[in-house]
Amino acid sequence: MKDMKISAKNVQVYYGDTHAIKDVSVEIEDNTVTAFIGPSGCGKSTFLRCLNRMNDTIDICRVEGDILLDGEDIYDKRVDPVQLRAKVGMVFQKPNPFPKSIYDNIAYGPRIHGLARNKAELDEIVEKSLRRGAIWDEVKDRLHAPGTGLSGGQQQRLCIARAVATEPEVLLMDEPCSALDPIATAQVEELIDELRQSYSVVIVTHSMQQAARVSQKTAFFHLGNLVEYDDTTKIFTNPEDPRTESYITGRIG
Amino acid sequence: MIDQHIASAFDRDLEEIQAHLMKMGGMVENAIREGAKSLKSRDEELAEKVRKADRQIDALDMQIQEECARVLALRQPIASDLRTVLTVMKVAANLERIGDYAKNMAKRTTVLVHMQPIDGASGAIKRMASEVRQMLTDALDAYIRRDEELAQDVRHRDLEVDQMYNALFREFLTFMMEDPRNISSCMHLHFIAKNIERMGDHVTSIADQVIYLVSGELPDEARPKGNSANYQLQIEDTDEADA
């Protein structure tokens, strides 16, 4: 039995009058890849964004219920969202490197969080992060070239390296491979599997095959409800709920 | 799942494969019926027909396996779709084996027609074959209707087939001990009976697959087996013979 990293209880999310997440409770395990799947608009990204308070940036968005990270309420008034996001990193659908050098893309987070005392330490963090992002060998000779000059797959791995540079405990990924070709996708998936050793990874994906390939746990969302949450093998061989079955097998449900 | 896929070509693929499986099932039912009939009525021509028909069964099995491989490669089926494809592959393999046993029955019939008939044996074998054929019909019905209960019923009926085999085994031993001239035909008849008993095991495996298809789990409950008495019988009879 693995430790629980995130524990969400009776979470409700409203965008103005729209009830986007309806009473979702879920326990996310440490050192595990958890996939959120479901049709567009089912609330999976919304729920993912609750986990590092990204929804705070949307004025009309209201979150109720409890979300605990290692037992601590992340919506507590004393919690600084910036500190939280250093612990709960995020990678987005479209690779979004800063318009800076490869080096500075990685160094940005550690600098603002004061993780390095000097240049040597910062260099070390940059190298370690790029290695973890499985892109070091490809960029080590051009660290001061702009990050935006890399290919799409490389940019995405740079963003993953940037996310791990602040030593997060949880990594949230919102459709990290949807803009990548199959080779780059395979590289990112391989990376996700390696990252699982150190972090708890939560990934939102529209690709059922990807969810099946990379995750150990799968949560199926539909119309703002968490329909089914179970071991990935169970979900993809013999799901309990007919709505899950209809969705994953590509039927009108 | 009665719902249709969004990709209707996927539905057509799955339906086609399953239609082929059912066609194969019908051919195998026929092979059992006609194989047993040819034995009972000492009809060499019919036996020959059964032997030849097995080629079509084998060809259909190959075709089904290829179609399944294609769906796996191109559609990556999951959940109940995956179970359907896996089930079809296994059931087709079971049917193919049953077809082989029926062919073997026909082959031995062509030899047996030239020998002295053994009283009552071919009738008893025909009853046994007809029981297995009925089980197969029900197992295939259970497949079509996704009927777990009927599949369970089929599994349990295999005990009767085992018992029929045991009775025949004892009977053939008696015949052979009575008159060594019976040995040749009794050996052939015994192989036929044993093969029908094996058909029953394959039908049971088909029923197991239906349960897997419907529930996602293979039955773990051990079904009653009627074989153990046989070994006992053999030893006893040997003792008698020694005495």
pLDDT in tens, chain A (253 residues): 678 999 999 999 999 999 999 999 999 999 999 999 999 989 999 999 999 999 888 989 999 999 999 999 999 999 999 999 989 999 998 999 999 999 999 999 999 989 999 999 999 999 999 998 889 999 999 999 999 999 989 999 999 999 999 989 999 999 999 888 888 889 889 989 999 998 999 999 999 999 999 999 999 999 999 999 999 999 999 999 999 999 999 886 5
Contacts of A248 in chain B (CB under 8 A): 78-79
Interface mutation vs chain B, best among A207, A238, A240, A241, most B CBs within 10 Å: A238
Tell me what pLDDT residue B242 has: 42
Rounded to the nearest 10 degrees, how much is the dihedral formed by the CA atoms of B102, B192, B49, B117?
Answer: -160
Residue whose pair of structure tokens reads 């979300």 in the numeric block: A67
Tell me if chain A has a CB within 8 Å of the CB of B7. Answer: yes
CB within 8 Å: B217 and A236:
no
Which run of H or of E encompasses A171?
strand A170-174
Tell me if chain B has a CB within 8 Å of the CB of A220. Answer: no
CA of A116, closest CA in chain B: separation in Å?
48
Burial of B11 (0-12, 13-18, 19+ CB in 10 A): middle
Tell me what pLDDT residue B241 has: 41
Residue B172, pLDDT above cutoff 80: yes
Over residues B109-138, mean pLDDT: 94
Tell me what pLDDT residue B240 has: 43
Confidence of residue B191 (pLDDT cuts 50, 70, 90): very high
Tell me if chain B has a CB within 8 Å of the CB of A182. Answer: no
Query: Which residue from B minimizes the CA distance to A239?
Result: B79
Q: What is the DSSP letter of B227?
A: -
CA of A212, closest CA in chain B: separation in Å?
10
Integer Cα distance of A48 and A35 in angstroms: 10
Contacts of B79 in chain A (CB under 8 A): 236-239, 244-245, 248-249
Tell me if chain B has a CB within 8 Å of the CB of A211. Answer: no
Tell me if chain B has a CB within 8 Å of the CB of A207. Answer: no
CA of B80, closest CA in chain A: separation in Å?
7
CB within 8 Å: B1 and A236:
no
Tell me what pLDDT residue B97 has: 98
Tell me if chain A has a CB within 8 Å of the CB of B10. Answer: yes
* Full strand arrangement of the beta sheet holding A18-29: A18-29, A4-15, A61-69, A72-73
Burial code (b: 16+ CB inside 10 Å, e: under 16) for A193-226 equals eebbeebbbbbbbeebebbbbbbbbbbbbbebbb
Respond yes or no on whether ipTM tops 0.85: no
CB within 8 Å: A246 and B77:
no
CA end-to-end span of chain B, whole Å?
Answer: 64
Integer Cα distance of A14 and A203 in angstroms: 22
Over residues B199-216, mean pLDDT: 96
Which tokens in the block code for residue B100?
A: 């082989």
CB within 8 Å: A252 and B81:
no
If one counts every other C-beta atom within 10 angstroms of the C-beta of residue A29, the result is: 16
Reported as a single tens digit per residue, the pLDDT across A13-23 is 999 999 999 99
Query: Which residue from A minimizes the CA distance to B75?
Result: A249
CB within 8 Å: B79 and A239:
yes
- B79: nearest CB among A209, A248, A252: A248
CA of A37, closest CA in chain B: separation in Å?
15
Integer Cα distance of A151 and A180 in angstroms: 9
pTM given for the model: 0.80
Answer yes or no: are the C-beta atoms of B190 and B172 closer than 8 Å.
yes
- B79: nearest CB among A209, A245, A252: A245
Answer yes or no: are the C-beta atoms of A80 and A72 closer than 8 Å.
no
CA of A240, closest CA in chain B: separation in Å?
10
Question: How many residues can be counted in chain B?
Answer: 243
Tell me if chain A has a CB within 8 Å of the CB of B65. Answer: no
Query: Which residue from A minimizes the CA distance to B81?
Result: A249
Which tokens in the block code for residue A36?
A: 């959120």
